[in-house]
Amino acid sequence: MDNGHKTLLSVKNLKTYFFQDEGTVKAVDGATFDVYPGKTLGIVGESGCGKSVTSQSILRIVEEPGRIVEGEIKLRRANGEEIELTRLSPNSKEMRAIRGPEIGLVFQEPMTSFSPVHTIGNQIIEAIRLHFGLNERQAREKAVESLRQVGIPKPERRIDEYAFQLSGGLRQRAMIAMALSCDPRLLIADEPTTALDVTTQAQILDLLRQLQQQRGMAIMLITHNLGVIAEMADDVVVMYLGRVVEEGPVDDIFHAPKHPYTKALLRSIPSIESTARVKLPTITGSIPHPYNRPTGCPFHPRCPEFMRGTCDRQEPTLLSLNERQKVSCFLYENGKKMGD
């Protein structure tokens, strides 16, 4: 998926495991993908497939007992210099300088991101002062401007309100304002519209698109909602049990999906042409328990095209099918579907 210019962020064979008394949870188990400047990469999959832990790994904010055990995360800074983030200590000055000015994060639930005892302005101003060295008045002006940019009405007044005084949509906008206040080159948006109604969701997605066009920033959009992916993404990575099972441009993923899991996800979306009151197809079974990962391909217990003796014994690798799409599935060998 080379978009003709250098990658902004490159993740290779990332493995983030949680070591617990009951066993090891392989939350991310060999994920590989690239993010390009000014483009939106959608990362999609059911809950529990490792999407959020991937974003936490990039920002080095994985909580104990989790840790990155393998792989590399390379960030290309504005001056062209490449930094290997896995070599930095999570609490180091270098890593703190990357969170904010280089990579911003919009969390899934803004109520957990804002402190209940400080005004939203207080928290945005603190981030701005930390990274830009401005005085209180200058930082406040920049914070008001950030709130205005994300469409919050009367930002001069709202800046002194607490998170609980704002509606869900305004809280999410304030969260985006905080993530953008340090002018990041990459914005990671983790389920940015989950708790919002459809109208507010559309407004937030429009806002992200406008801000991306104005600033030329890259967006890494993590969601289980394929509708959001169709609307926002240039390229898509489909994850299952911590692994990338398919990746490619958004049109190819939606119109010519290759992996049985991607096909099953797409079949389970209602469409305008769907017959009313007819039950939608669902993916059989459920995601395996993290401690009981299946051997072989992680999707094989739920796969309609499962081949006994192959899928349950070996793990497929991510293969290039053409210049655009990659797939991790034994149905494809040497870039072609077997039997074609």
CA distance 267 to 272: 13
SS3 for 57?
helix
By C-alpha distance, which of 188, 245, 249 is closest to 221? 188
Whether 288 has a pLDDT exceeding 90, the answer reads: no
Residue 65, preceding bond cis, omega within 30 degrees? yes
Residue 329: which residues within 8 A CB-CB, separation 6 or more? 245, 246, 258, 259, 260, 297, 316
Mean pLDDT, residues 121-148 taken together: 91
Q: According to the model, what pLDDT value does residue 121 have?
A: 92
Q: What is the mean pLDDT of residues 222-247?
A: 92
pLDDT at 62 over 50: yes
Task: Name the band, by pLDDT with cuts 50, 70 and 90, for residue 4.
Answer: very low
**Euclidean distance between CA atoms 264 and 247, whole angstroms:** 15
- 321 compared with 197, residue with greater pLDDT: 321
- Residue pointed to by tokens 């289980």: 224
22 vs 6: CA distance, rounded Å: 42
Q: Which residue's structure tokens are 């958004």?
A: 250
CA distances from 90 to 51, 74, 75, 96, 217 (A): 19, 15, 15, 8, 24
Residue 218 CA to residue 184 CA, distance in Å, equals 9
> Does 194 have pLDDT greater than 80?
no
CA dist 296 and 170 (Å) reads: 45
* pLDDT grade for 323, boundaries at 50, 70 and 90: confident
What integer pLDDT is reported at residue 336 of this predicted model? 60
Per-residue pLDDT for 279 more than 80? no
CA angle 180, 182, 184 (to 5 degrees): 65
How far, in Å, CA of 113 to CA of 171, rounded? 10
Q: Nearest to residue 68, comparing CAs of 18, 22, 10, 9?
A: 18
State the pLDDT at residue 335: 54
What average pLDDT does the chain have?
87
- Least confident residue range of 130-134, 226-230, 297-301, 309-313: 130-134
Please determine, for residue 289, whether its predicted confidence score (pLDDT) is greater than 90. Answer: no
Please give the average per-residue pLDDT across 28-47, as a whole number: 93
Q: What is the average pLDDT across 331-340? A: 66
The average pLDDT across 117-129 equals 90
Compute and round to an integer the Cα radius of gyration of the chain: 21
Task: Look at the pTM and tell me if it is higher than 0.85.
Answer: yes
- pLDDT at site 110: 59
Q: Which has more pLDDT, 114 or 158?
A: 158
243 secondary structure, DSSP code: E
What are the percentages of helix, strand and coil residues in the chain, rounded to 5? 35, 25, 45
Q: Tell me the average pLDDT across 59-63.
A: 93
Task: Reply yes or no on whether the pLDDT at 221 is more than 90.
Answer: yes
Average pLDDT for 126-141: 90
Whether 203 has a pLDDT exceeding 90, the answer reads no
- Using alpha carbons only, what angle is made at residue 24 by residues 20 and 29, rounded to the nearest 5 degrees? 135
Least confident window among 71-80, 190-199, 225-234, 296-305: 190-199
CA–CA gap between residue 246 and residue 319 (Å, rounded): 9
